[in-house]
Structure 1
Amino acid sequence: MEAISVVGGGIAGLALAARLDPGRFRVTVHEAREEPPRVETSLAMWPEAQRALEKIGILSAVAAAGADFGRMALRDGSGAVLLEAGAPGVIGVSRADLLRLLDVAVPGSVARAYGTVATLPASGLVVGADGVHSVVRRNVWGARARARLSPYLALRGIIEAPVSPDGGGEYWGRGQLFGILPASGGRTYWYASYRSALGPSGVDVEEALELTRAHFRGRVGDIDSILAAVTPETTLAQRIWTVPYPGSYHRGGAVLVGDAAHGMAPNLGRGACEALIDAVTLADLLNAGPVPAALQAYSRRRLLRSQALRLASSAMVRLALAEQAQPLRDRLLRLAGKAQGGAPSKAE
């Protein structure tokens, strides 16, 4: 039995543990907390991620627990539709539901260790699945691989009310973004982002909500009503951090997956998807051959694809939160909308 220590029991860590061959590997998952996340958020499962979930054996359960995003509108800050885009086959699933289903899929032979990892295991393969601020990446890749702070604050949560007709989609103002999407159980997933000096860690959620209400007050009825309904207890507020290019996803006896490898801005909705794809790709390679060859093949398969998405997400956040260039951005998006054959309209 070969030892694998998975540092991080989030999406990537649990997916990897669920897919590794229990007859070959002695797996331990290290997780800082025993309790699931307190605040619910929603994640987009694109078709590639759904194929990874199918390999793990939980796709049907995720689909049953999720919601269909349907057709989404991109709007300006006043609510006028700039363009519309479909998201066929994309499933929106609660992070809590996804973690619960992944946890159930992990074999009983996998050991669990709770608490902060101060020293990396000295033997066996060490997998950094511990997010943007990965202790594995910092210890093995060095100070240059530390996470980088963006100037943007992100808030998100789920409220117990449905998305109103013609009210969903993303609203792009001048340096402001607000999103409204359907969530499971007829609820609404909302998110907002703008430039802020709050944090960088331990953001006061109540203060962040007050600032957010001030930022978006009077913009669009749906946004006002959603922000009136949210509470600090149902809201996650964090500064956005990203991960620099690490050069390779494996080094010595360590390998990175998920946000530890390519933590990106959330604007493409691909972070959780790429974490699942990383985990299943790595597990299948490890199950099929020697560890050194599997790590090399994993880096080759995943590095360019995930880094391209990381760069694209950075470009998207700059576009969505444009300030001086906002009028030009909106004119170009309106032209793109007209090219679709649709006429921009005003939100009710």
Structure 2
Amino acid sequence: MDAVSVVGGGIAGLALAARLDPRRFRVTIHERREELPPVETSLAMWPEAQQALDALGILPDVRTAGSRFGGVALRDGSGRVFLRGQAPDVIGVSRADLLRLLETAVPASAARAYGPVRSLPESDLVVGADGVHSRVRRAVWGERSRARLSPYLALRGILDVPVPPDAGGEYWGRGQLFGITPASRGRTYWYASYRSDLGPDGIDVGEALALTRERFSGPAAGIARVLASAAPGQTLAQRIWTAPPLRRYATEGAVLVGDAAHGMTPNLGRGACEALIDAVTLADLLNSRPLRNALQTYSRRRLLRTQALRAASSAMTRLALADRAQPLRDGLFRLAGHAGR
């Protein structure tokens, strides 16, 4: 029986531990904290990710805990609609609910080790599922693989109120973005992003909220109502980091999944989805093939897609947060909106 050390007990790590065959692998999950994240956020589960959740046996529970996206709107900074679309097959689920459900899928045979990982565990396979600042990636792929700091600050949170009438969607202003979407149990998930010198560490959430209220003090009434209800204890404020481009996700005795492999900006809403697909793909290969072949095949299957998504997400960030090019961008969107009517 091979020993597998999963460094990181988030979405990718739990999904992998849940899918690995306990008759073939002795799994230990290494996680810094025992408790769930204190601030709730919401995640979009696209159809491919739902297939991974189905393979894990928790898709019906995720559907029950989550909410359907339905219609989506792209707006300018004042709230006027550029374009409308439909996303009927996308489920929004809170990160806390998803983590709880993934926990239920992990076999009781999986061991737990809590606390920071100072050095790589002794195992037949070490899995880096430890996020964009992955210690496994730096230890095996080298210091050049350190996470890269973007100039953007991101705030997000869930409010215990429904989405304000006719306020849902993404607002693309001049150098700033704001999103309002339904969350589970009739609540509202909101997020904002813009360039900022705050941080990167020790960001005061109250200060970040005050700055955000000032930045978004324009005529969009929906944004004003959401920010009036936002409180520091319900808000996450972080600078956005990304993983560098990699040429492979696996080497002898080590493999990367999720944000450790391809941490990207959040603008495509694909980070958690690709983490789930990584985990199920890797587990199925490990369950059915020799270790070396499974790792090589996993890297080939997942590398091009996820690196392309990482690049596309960065491009979307630049478009959504355009500053000097904002008037041209908005003009093109208005033309597209008129052409689609």
Same fold (TM over 0.5): yes
**1:279-306, Cα deviation, whole Å (9 max, x unpaired):** 0000000000101000000001000000
Counterpart CA distance in 2 for 1:2 and 1:202 is: 40
Please report how far the alpha carbon of residue 88 of structure 1 lies from its aligned counterpart in structure 2 after TM superposition. Answer: 2.0
Please report how far the alpha carbon of residue 122 of structure 1 lies from its aligned counterpart in structure 2 after TM superposition. Answer: 3.0
Counterpart CA distance in 2 for 1:11 and 1:123 is: 21
Query: Considering only aligned residues, what root-mean-square deviation do their CA atoms show, in Å?
Result: 0.7
Q: What's the counterpart of residue 333 of structure 1?
A: 333
- Which sits farther off after the overlay, 159-168 or 39-48? 159-168
- Which sits farther off after the overlay, 51-60 or 120-129? 120-129
Question: Is 1:236 aligned with 2:236?
Answer: yes
**1:155-203, Cα deviation, whole Å (9 max, x unpaired):** 0000011112221000000001000000011110000000000011221
Q: What's the counterpart of residue 46 of structure 2?
A: 46
Please report how far the alpha carbon of residue 336 of structure 1 lies from its aligned counterpart in structure 2 after TM superposition. Answer: 1.5
Q: What's the counterpart of residue 66 of structure 1?
A: 66
Q: What's the counterpart of residue 285 of structure 1?
A: 285
Retained in 1: the 8 A contact 2:57–2:105? yes
Please report how far the alpha carbon of residue 31 of structure 1 lies from its aligned counterpart in structure 2 after TM superposition. Answer: 0.2
Please report how far the alpha carbon of residue 27 of structure 1 lies from its aligned counterpart in structure 2 after TM superposition. Answer: 0.2
Counterpart CA distance in 2 for 1:169 and 1:189 is: 11
Q: How many residues align?
A: 341
Structure 1: 5+ residue stretches without partners: 342-348
Retained in 1: the 8 A contact 2:208–2:237? yes
Q: What's the counterpart of residue 303 of structure 1?
A: 303
State the AA in 1 paired with 2:106.
V
Q: What's the counterpart of residue 3 of structure 1?
A: 3
Counterpart CA distance in 2 for 1:229 and 1:88 is: 28
Counterpart CA distance in 2 for 1:43 and 1:104 is: 19
State the AA in 1 paired with 2:48.
E
Counterpart CA distance in 1 for 2:246 and 2:173 is: 34
Structure 2: 5+ residue stretches without partners: none
Counterpart CA distance in 2 for 1:14 and 1:145 is: 24
Question: Percent identity, aligned pairs only?
Answer: 74
TM-score by length of 1: 0.97
Query: What pairs up with 1:1-348 in 2 under 5 angstroms?
Result: 1-341=1-341
Q: Secondary structure at the match of 1:202?
A: coil
Retained in 1: the 8 A contact 2:46–2:90? yes
Counterpart CA distance in 2 for 1:112 and 1:122 is: 15
State the AA in 1 paired with 2:239.
R
State the AA in 2 paired with 1:118.
R
- Which sits farther off after the overlay, 82-91 or 32-41? 82-91
Counterpart CA distance in 1 for 2:80 and 2:66 is: 28
Counterpart CA distance in 2 for 1:173 and 1:236 is: 21
Counterpart CA distance in 1 for 2:259 and 2:101 is: 20
State the AA in 2 paired with 1:107.
P
Counterpart CA distance in 2 for 1:134 and 1:100 is: 23
Q: Secondary structure at the match of 1:138?
A: helix
Q: Secondary structure at the match of 1:89?
A: strand
